Amino acid sequence: MNTQPLVSILCATYNQKNFIAQTIEGFLMQKVNFPIEIIIHDDASTDGTTEIIAQYAQKHPNLIKAILQKENQYSKIKDIWSKFIYPSAKGKYFAECEGDDYWTDPNKLQRQVDFLESHPDYILSTENANVLFTETNIIKPFSTEPEHDVSLDDLLIRRRFPTASVVYRNTYIKELSQQEVSSFDTMMWAFLAQKGKVHFNPIISSVYRRGSGVTESNKIKWAYTNERYNKEITEFFKPNKSVIKERNKTLYQDFRNGIKAAKKQGKRNDYLKLSAKAFCLSPLSYIADIFKRRWKKYITGEEKRIQRANFWVKFQPTKKLAPSHRETPIVVSLTSYPARFSTLHLCLKSIFNQTLQADKIVLYLDKTVSLQDVPKKILDMRDKGLEIRTICENIKPHNKYFYAMQEFSNAIIITVDDDALYSKDCIESLYRNFKKYPNCISARRVHKTTHLLDGTIAPYRLWDLEYKKIATPSSDLMATGVGGVLYPPHIFNTHSDYFKIENIQNHCLNADDVWLMFIENREGIKVCWAPNKHPSPYPIISDKINDFALSNDNVENNRNDYFIEKCQSFFKINI
């Protein structure tokens, strides 16, 4: 090459025949106004990777420099980067990408180099990436964080970005190579963070492939490896106590996973050794784990809490609704049917006994139901403020929002299910979130949709269920009715085709959450998770309720995927 490259693209690969072409194409598609070079090191692959690299190098002799090993070097010297790759690179900046990852944005290099050129106090530029889970073909963002500077402590606690996302100055690579430390990612990025600032841009510009990761077969090896990494990081960077505490938490969990794997595989020496390491690292945690395992039946767990909630609600008096004088009233709406009448009063009692009471609680029943069929315990609650409507057509779970939004169009509507006991702060937490985001739907329990590599929505079972990482309005969240959902006044156009009973019956009769999600996506309405400790309310213990639960059928028999497909056809959108 006659021209000095400004950027050296560095790629190390071994037996990645199925991916390396896509990786190289990601390099070649970059639109830049400066010279670059592409250095690809192949460590004696045996699957045809070497031949693919050689073909690309032959087509682009002035751009691609291929280092094709005849014998595997990693097995001999480990650090192939310091020995072969870095010495071959001439650029002012290095951009890395492993042979099974790839770039997706043709402006990635130009954008990152422009940033570093105009900000000399920054040593590394990184961008967000999509994570491709190869076993399921699901694709998700690596990070949900906004643009920010990444601190040294951040990098020492956990991984913040994938290798394929970075561009950095080569100024200190020689100095790092001379250190007697392992050249793993965390060590390198943290070392550079000592020399300058690290900038994170949330633009997604690459894909990081992730396989099965730390599997049952290699958990023992990973525990020892992470222990070595942890020791090196502590000795080299001398982090503060809070960083050490966080790293030790991760290491302790790795030890615990290794202990379980060793026990399962019958490896007694590893079992004893890792047990000793876990005890020395955190004696209190180790003893607590033993106590939990041996005395589990005496510890109050989730089942105990559910039983206790079901027990106490039977003896609690029901509070009467009191006038609130709110400018915008709150109406709690729910529906039910005879099979659940025997326990419905318990659910209603939990709604009446809220820290922030509603202005109205309305029970919508099918018009075929007579008040004579309703148990006295429920009818008596009318004295406390319960209102009962027997007006509903056959739209099943849709009853709980369909009629209330039309009858109380100027009110805040909160929908709940009839087979659960709600925590006392349910209404209060939803209302607090509404005050913060008045134009969005607030929900205590949300699922995050995920997508396949081709952009289509993934099967429901592969979504991020009970998602808690986004507490701001998002188009990727689905509110689930069982947790409690708040709808601001006039959030939907109740005169649209979406509120025609025949459309609901024909396309999504048994999955109101799915139907509402499609309306929200069509109308650009966002959902926001209302932060709380227990997104799922306590279920009412009853065999009858479990037998009739629609959610069981929708999830266990993949009916949600069926309804999603039907809605995509009706709404003519892909979410």
Tens-place pLDDT, residues 73-98: 888 876 788 889 999 999 999 999 99
pTM of the full predicted structure? Answer: 0.74
Q: Give the pLDDT confidence score for residue 295 in this predicted structure.
A: 64
Residues in contact with 42: Cβ distance below 8 Å, sequence separation at least 6, in sequence order: 13, 14, 49, 50, 53, 66, 67, 68, 69, 99
To 10 degrees, the CA torsion angle through 438, 439, 443, 446?
Answer: -140
Listing DSSP states for 5-60 in one string gives: PSEEEEEEESS-TTTHHHHHHHHHT---SS-EEEEEEE---SSSHHHHHHHHHHH-
Q: Give the pLDDT confidence score for residue 1 in this predicted structure.
A: 45
Question: Are residues 370 and 242 both part of a single domain?
Answer: no
> How far apart are alpha carbons 53 and 30 in whole angstroms?
18
Residue 149 included in any domain = yes
Residue 575, both tokens: 């979410």
Question: Are residues 122 and 51 both part of a single domain?
Answer: yes
Residue 1 included in any domain = no
Buried b (16+ CB within 10 A) or exposed e, 67-88: bbbeeebeeeeeebbbebbbee
Residue 235 included in any domain = yes
Q: Give the pLDDT confidence score for residue 554 in this predicted structure.
A: 52
Q: Give the pLDDT confidence score for residue 298 in this predicted structure.
A: 52
Residue 336 included in any domain = yes
Question: Are residues 199 and 224 both part of a single domain?
Answer: no
Question: Are residues 407 and 258 both part of a single domain?
Answer: no
Q: What share of the chain is helix, strand, coil (3-state, %, to 5)?
A: 45, 20, 35
Question: Are residues 183 and 231 both part of a single domain?
Answer: no
Residue 321 included in any domain = no
Which residue type does 324 have?
S
Residue 31, both tokens: 């639109």
* Helix orientation angle between 341-352 and 302-313, rounded to the nearest 10 degrees: 90
Rounded to 5 degrees, what are φ and ψ at 64? -105, 125
What's the number of domains the chain is made of?
A: 3
**Which regions in the chain score pLDDT beneath 50?**
1, 214, 547-548, 553, 555
pLDDT digits (tens, 9 = 90+) for 175-206: 888 877 776 788 899 999 999 999 999 999 99
Residue 396 included in any domain = yes
Among the three residues 163, 189, 210, which one is the final residue of a domain in this structure? 210
Question: Are residues 169 and 37 both part of a single domain?
Answer: yes
Residue 313 included in any domain = no
Among the three residues 298, 316, 343, which one is the final residue of a domain in this structure? 298
Question: Are residues 528 and 437 both part of a single domain?
Answer: yes
Question: Are residues 206 and 223 both part of a single domain?
Answer: no
Residue 306 included in any domain = no
Look-up of token digits 């109101």 = 512
Question: Are residues 241 and 387 both part of a single domain?
Answer: no
Question: Are residues 238 and 103 both part of a single domain?
Answer: no
Question: Which structural domain range is residue 542 located in?
Answer: 330-571
CATH at 120 = 3.90.550.10
Question: Are residues 557 and 520 both part of a single domain?
Answer: yes
Question: Are residues 417 and 533 both part of a single domain?
Answer: yes
Residue 102, both tokens: 């790839």
CB 458 within 8 A of CB 451: yes
Q: Give the pLDDT confidence score for residue 574 in this predicted structure.
A: 86
60-to-27, 39, 66, 67 alpha-carbon distances in Å: 12, 12, 11, 14
